[in-house]
Structure formats: structure tokens, C-alpha cells
Amino acid sequence: MPSERAPADPDPLADLFWSVAGRLRVLGRATLAPWDISPSHARALGVLLRQGDLRLSELSDHLHIAPRSATEVVDALQERGLAERHPDPHDRRATLVGLTAAGREAGESIRAARAAEAQAFFGVLDDDDRAALTRILTHLQTPPGSPTPS
């Protein structure tokens, strides 16, 4: 009588990738817990911290989300006193979004906590493995047909 075995996993690499991504998501949410902030709001804080004041359309481009979604993110950050809207000094019709002092402080603290989280998570890899993983992930995030970043 033939033994019944489960079919071979068609793509164990994808399963491993999603498993690691899931662990990173869980760690990321735990890291953000002290600020009671969502990952999407933390990403917006990070963009504004790096880029400075932006129009909503520019912020949505950086976050790769619809402008309407960027408006909702900024509304939530503004309600918490982390971001503010103000007129664009170069175009009276436009509005810029920037961080408040509390937003800059929260953004810097989150950046430091995430750096520590990444160091703890990826710290099990030696320098060569980290470099190889960075190279591979950079290659995979580049759409087919696009020039690979050097």
C-alpha cells in the first residue's frame, strides 16, 4: 500500500520570506506600542522627518498611497498634535504638512527604537550575510525591466 505523503511545498522560499516578514511585522507593532501609533502613521512621521514639509501629494507619493489616504493619515497625526498644516510660502493655493515639535520628538524616538529592533533582529547575521541579504532584497524590490540601483 503506497504511503500517503503531503505534496511537496511548491515554493518553500516564499513561505520562509512571508514567515520572516510576519515576524518583522509583529516586532514592528510591538516597537510602536509605547507611542500607540500605527505603522502607517509611523511611516508618515519618518518621511516628514527625513524630507521636511511636503504637500499632501508629495507625501502620498513617498508613502505609495492614494492622496485620500494621505489626508486621513495627516488628519490622525494632526489630531494627536504630531503634524500640522500650513500655507506654502511659494504658492498661496497650496498647503504643506510638517511635523510639530512633538512630532519630531516622536519621530526621532521611533527611529531610534526601530534601529534597535533591526539590530536585534538582524544581529544574528554576520556582516557578509547582512550585505548579501541587503543586495538580494534590493534586487527583488526593483521591478523587472527597471535599472538595478547600484
pLDDT digits (tens, 9 = 90+) for 96-139: 999 999 999 999 999 999 999 999 999 999 999 999 999 999 99
Q: Which of 48, 47, 55 is nearest to 87 (CA)?
A: 55
Domain ranges of the chain: 35-138
d(CA 109, CA 35): 9
Please give the model's pTM, rounded to 2 decimal places: 0.80
Q: What's the CATH fold of domain 35-138?
A: Arc Repressor Mutant, subunit A (1.10.10)
Per-residue pLDDT tens for 56-103? 999 999 999 999 999 999 999 999 999 999 999 988 888 999 999 999
The CA-CA-CA angle for residues 135, 23, 9, to 5°, reads 80
